[in-house]
Amino acid sequence: MDQRDSSTPLYGIAVAAQLSGVPEASLRLFEAKGLLTPSRSDGGTRRYSDDDVERLRRVTDLRSEGVNLAGIRRVLELEDENASLRDELDSEQDSAPGA
C-alpha cells in the first residue's frame, strides 16, 4: 500500500473541523484572515490536507496562549519561512562535494 502525502487534500470542512476541534465558521474565518489556504475541488468545495489540520491545531494552540489573529498570521509566516530556509540549507548540504 502506498503511503500518502500529508499535503494531499482529503477532508471536507466538516471532517477538518472535527479533526482539528475547530468550528467550521472559524475555519472560514482563518481562511479569510490568511492563516491557511485549503485546496478547492473542481466544484469549489474546500478540501483540507493533514498538513492543513496540523496547521489548524497550531492556530488553536497560539490562540489559547492569547495570541491574536494578526500575531498568529505573523508567527505562521515566520515558521513557514524558517522551514523553507532549513529545507534549502539541507538541499545545499546534500549536494555539496564530499557530502
CATH code (residue 33): 1.10.1660.10
pLDDT of residue 11: 96
For the range 37-45, what are the long-range contacts, defined as Cβ-Cβ under 8 Å and sequence gap of 24 or more?
Answer: 38/9, 38/13, 39/9, 45/12, 45/13
pLDDT over threshold 80, residue 15: yes
pLDDT of residue 99: 56
Cell of 92: 545545499
- What pTM was estimated for this model as a whole? 0.84
Alpha-carbon distance 4 to 24, whole Å?
Answer: 25
> Is residue 8, in this structure, part of any structural domain at all?
no
Cell 467550521 belongs to residue: 24
> Is residue 3, in this structure, part of any structural domain at all?
no
> Is residue 1, in this structure, part of any structural domain at all?
no
How crowded is residue 38: how many other Cβ atoms within 10 Å of its Cβ? 21
* Predicted confidence (pLDDT) per residue in 29-88, tens digit: 999 999 999 999 999 999 999 999 999 999 999 999 999 999 999 999 999 999 999 999
